[in-house]
Structures are given as structure tokens and as C-alpha cells.
Amino acid sequence: MGFTIAIDGPAAAGKGTISRAVAAHFGFAHLDTGLLYRAVGAKMLAGEAPVDAARNLVPEDLESDELRSPGVAQAASKVAVIAEVRAALVDFQRAFARRAGGAVLDGRDIGTVICPEAEAKLFVTATAEVRATRRFLELTQKGTVTTLEEVLADVKARDERDMNRAEAPLRPAGDAVLIDTSTLAIEEAVAKAIAAIEARRAD
């Protein structure tokens, strides 16, 4: 019997870290759905039409290291507003979600659009300033030349696009548990997530 955990939230809120830890804790499969859009964005940057890229996506496309680059992240945010791209990726995500043994999916619209019937839903967030600082540190550790001001502007621009797009805007599901990681250590955030999911499993 499947058990689906939907974890949504804005960029750099910590949902990826929490999702991986939750999946490991429960022994579930994990899908970072943002990688689907990053893969489509990368293909768009390489000259492929976004809709064609989405329709032809294969699991191997999610394994490239370049998917974590800032340029691909921007491209992903842009292709994610295209209704035909989102539609092409829905089946991929829903099939993964209902696999036997349980699944954790993290993204922007898992609990609201992709898996509204998920047994457990979390919405992981943090202030834009905290998220920008995290992303800035991550980028500088990788040797990327940028400023905190540029990263903050990028975070706010992505939030604006994600929350105001016509198709599947970023918002918490009505029954999602909110976890604000602004002042939490990773271990605390993961513990809150696991506790919330355990409560749903006990229902």
C-alpha cells in the first residue's frame, strides 16, 4: 500500500533537505520535482522547445550536475509557468507518488495540484532574507561570484513568479502542516516534519 508525502515551499526554504531526510527515515522513495523543471530548463537553454523537452523527459535527464546552476534555476522558473510543460510532467509525478512502498515528493504544487490526495502534506517556508543568505553561502562555497543583494533579488523574483503564475501557483494546501525554518536548525526542522507525518500516519 502506498503512502504519499507532499512537501511544498519556496526556493531555499529547506524542503529538499527535509524531504531527503524524511524519505530516509521512513524508507520511502524521493523525487525532487524541481529537477524535472530544471531538466526542461536546461534543455531549453540548449535550444530545445520547452514543451518538447517536457514530453521527452527521461529519468537520466535528472542526473546532470548542471541542473543546480543559477542559470538553469532561472530557466526552470520560466518554463514552469508554461501550462503545456506542467501538463506533460504531471503523469510522471503522479505515477511516482503512488508507487508501492511510499513516496516523498517535494516541489511547489505537490499538495495542491499533483497529489491533492496525499496522506501527509507539509509546506516548508522561511523569510526571503534567510533563504537568500542560505543560497548565497551555497553559491559562494561553489565558487560562484555573486552578491547577497543579487541573490535576494533573485529569490524575490522567483517567489513573485511562482506565487502569481496562472497555472498551479505556489501556496500551501488547505490541510498542509506549515513549518517555518527561519530560526530552526536542520535537525529541528526534520524532527518537526517527521512528527507531523507520524501524526498523519496514526490517524
Instruction: Give the annotated binding-site residues for ATP.
Output: 9-17
User: Can you say whether residue 98 is alpha, beta or left, with left for phi > 0 and alpha for psi between -120 and 50 degrees?
Assistant: alpha
CB atoms within 10 A of CB 69: 18
Distance (Å, rounded) from C-alpha 134 to C-alpha 12? 7
Distance (Å, rounded) from C-alpha 104 to C-alpha 150? 32
Write out the binding residues.
9-17
Distance (Å, rounded) from C-alpha 45 to C-alpha 155? 20
Name the grid cell of 68: 543546480
